[in-house]
Structure 1
Amino acid sequence: MIDLALVPEEPGCYLYRDADGTVIYVGKAKHLKRRVSSYFQKHDHDAKTQKLIGQIASAEFIVTGTEVEALILENTLIKRHQPKYNIDLKDARRYAYIHLSADAFPRIAIAREVGDDGEYFGPFVSAKERDEVLEVVKRAFGLRSCRRLPKRPCLRRHLGICAAPCTGTMPEEEYAARVNRARAVLRGRGNDLIEEMEAEMAERSERLEFERALELRDEIAAVRHLAERQRMERRTDHDEDIIAYQEQDGNLFLLLFHVEKGTLTGKQEYVFEASDDAVEEFLVQYYGEHAPPKEVVLPTGVGEPVADYLADRRGGKVRVTVPQRGDKRRLLDLAGKNLDLTFFADRMKVEALREDLRLPDPPNVIECFDISHLAGTAMVGSMVQFRGGRPDKRNYRRFKIRTVEGIDDFAAIAEVVGRRYARLLWEGKSMPDLVIVDGGKGQLKAATDAIAALGLRLPIISIAKREEEIYVPGFPHPLPIKNDARSSLFVQEIRDEAHRFAITYNRFLRRKAMRG
């Protein structure tokens, strides 16, 4: 048991140890005694802190001269001991970079990790965006992508999409100029580059160098295309980090945007247990590993010691901004939106479906049925289950149609739906929150009657192909839900998965019959 009378009253760090002497938590405080006492005198702690307190067997204290020194020491101690109750800053995802090699004629390519052999741009959150940027830059500036310079020109040279330094006709200075332009685009300075390139294009035309002028025209068009896609571009002379976070179910979900001189260059996501100090602890740990930018934008302010710590790490002033309006507020809102899309997209789909179908509770468990056959042969049924907005493939089921002869989708749907829920009744298992049937009003009625015959009442809808119309029992017309609404797209996603699963089983049976 900790003797609170012996706890120092100065700023510093405290280390909690368990019965085995292992450091399980490192914290910092402006007034150690008040901070440590609060663990044992307050009774409204969050679940994580309550669990921590139950394992504390002893404590160690290190006094520092200032709270900023305590912050620095805390970060060092966390790195050294890696306590299990301090947040674990493991990146939620890994993204690829675009790499410019350090060769005499630099190569451009995709890299998964950052090394010390050239320059790296990114990370790129979207693989599609990364690939498009890479392809546009390669084509626009004719940069090589081959691992080694070949002895003769390859197909890319003949297609006119590589400057082909391998031929020996491309001066190193000219290729370097192309690389510098590519570098400027990758750093988000495309608009400035366009002005330079337009001036050179005019000069080349005056000197009757029309071939190079046309190349420059095409390069300008490509750079302009990429620059227009950089919606984050703003005229700033410094880098910023934009941090948005949200607490859900005892966890803190955090997203960090990197903005270099007004242009968004990448993002990182983290998830860790929520606590009173989680955000400030994140800032201290994260910027203990990464150089702080000139400005950090947050939805709420931080204490002065944290701001001083960031300045100490950077070796210069760091502005911590809590914007209420303007571009920075827009950036923060965008980060929040990305946070929702990254961590809560599945939950948002389920909630949108609940709202549009007027369901009392979110349809967390959804089962969808489809029938597949080829001219009435190898007729099969499929059922896919989505749980929490995602496919739960462990609960997929497939059915051979037993009672239907010829082509009768209505009877086939009735059989499959009846068999599924008769089995759940017999096994005493819970029913889904929503049933979806692929088809129109006929398939919907067949499935509804099959469920009613079992004495059940389950929420059920059908989705008709072509117009993607959603029907509910008892209404002759489809629901007024646009087919590009989030709820409709979610239903389409589920239906498409059921269709894929059914076709796969149908093909399997046909191949088996042919072999057999």
Structure 2
Amino acid sequence: MPEAEPVNLKEKVRHLPDKPGVYLMRDRLGRIIYVGKAKSLKKRVSSYFMPSRAARELHPKIRTLISLIANFDTIEVKSEPEALLLEGRLIKEWRPKYNTDFTDDKRFLLVRVDPAEPLPRFRLTRLRKDTRSRHFGPFAHSGLLRKTLAQMRRQFGILLGDATPRLLPDGRWQLYDDVRQELYGWPNEVTEADYRARVEEACAFLDGKSREWLAQLREEMAAAAGKHEFEKAAELRDIVFALEGTLQKTRKFERNHPVVATDTDAMRALGEALGLPAPPRTLECFDISHISGTFVVASMVHFADGRPDKNNYRRFQIKSFIGNDDFRAMEEVVGRRYRRLREEGKPFPDLVVIDGGRGQIGAALKAFALIEAEPPALIGLAKKHETIIFPDERPPLNLPLAHPALGLLQRLRDEAHRFANTYNADLRSKKIRESVLDDFEGLGDVRRAALLAHFGDIDRLRAATEEQIREVPGFGPKLAAELHAWLHS
């Protein structure tokens, strides 16, 4: 893919608003390499392009990031909590190389209230697992949210997730059977109707429809300060801060921001760019990984409706040869994958993507010919310029840097690359652990291979007893005892 036209970054920074938002740093190929949030977009983004002594003393990783920035985009929002929520969503979607936070699957907290319970409790969750419950949030600040719920328990007399109420013989409920029945200052034995009235008040507060409590707390804080009860005033101030931080309105982002297309848009754009009869809903991508011709492995990742479907990921050790030959490796794994699908009567994907150029595409087509199967739509994605290679006479295709179809292909290819490299690293680590057997005298290649074939890996061998080691061909009582003692020395 051609490099983007140079951008005057300092001039672009001058036109940024002094408002909260999220910024996306891009490299010369337009790829998102870092996502950040800012209280002031103008001040935060400009700090990347101001040479100073502090900048020279930055961590090497940050200096490298700054050297790679060729352009940036920004998304203005209404508040800092909105910026935090949007930053997390974008990092999870794009997984930029230089981000470390939010790269796991952790989500922001929600408050869940299940009205089907006799006494609905206020629980924390990160997923909307059911439709019958009421959900409030997401909340950007988990610490403030937990403090808010603790205060709501005192203010409204509600139950949190740690409560285990008990039904009494007269039909009422006992909320607590420990010191908490006196701690929170509410009647401990209630009817369902009385408790549900408490729940409705608490839900109205979380909805932001009731501000009387905040006004009351501010009055108490001012009164305490006027009486020089500064410790009490500080405590009330912290409570007000927690409540205000929790209730600060945040919009829900559904990937409709200006720089990131939806998965549906990306699939539609990809189908149009490749001339397919319909948007490709299922995609599979293959990648080969090795270290100078050793530990040759391959990965296949599967996307469904534009998102990773990890249950259908596959990884392969190369079995047909030893050495460094990406073309033969690609031929082998493509053949193994689609021979298996055909034998099981399962459909092929709508699109197969090969990490590589014409040589790798030719190897994949040869694999389909050998198993006598009609290949689905198939393309290659060449890394250097992100060029799309077709298996027929069509010329190579370079999509614009911000094209949603290219973004989908890059995410697919990068995930295949990550999965292959992880498998390669796992095999190398396993080989290093197994090499300790080389230091045990009297253990030749045949016996070492017999041990690993019997136990699978060095960890299971270490856990084996002498009797279990003697079950391996070639190991008598003496040799088994010596090996067992050596492994635990």
The TM-score with structure 2 as length reference comes to 0.41
The TM-score with structure 1 as length reference comes to 0.39
Bigger share in strand = 1
Point out which structure has higher relative CO (alpha carbons under 8 A, 6+ apart): 2
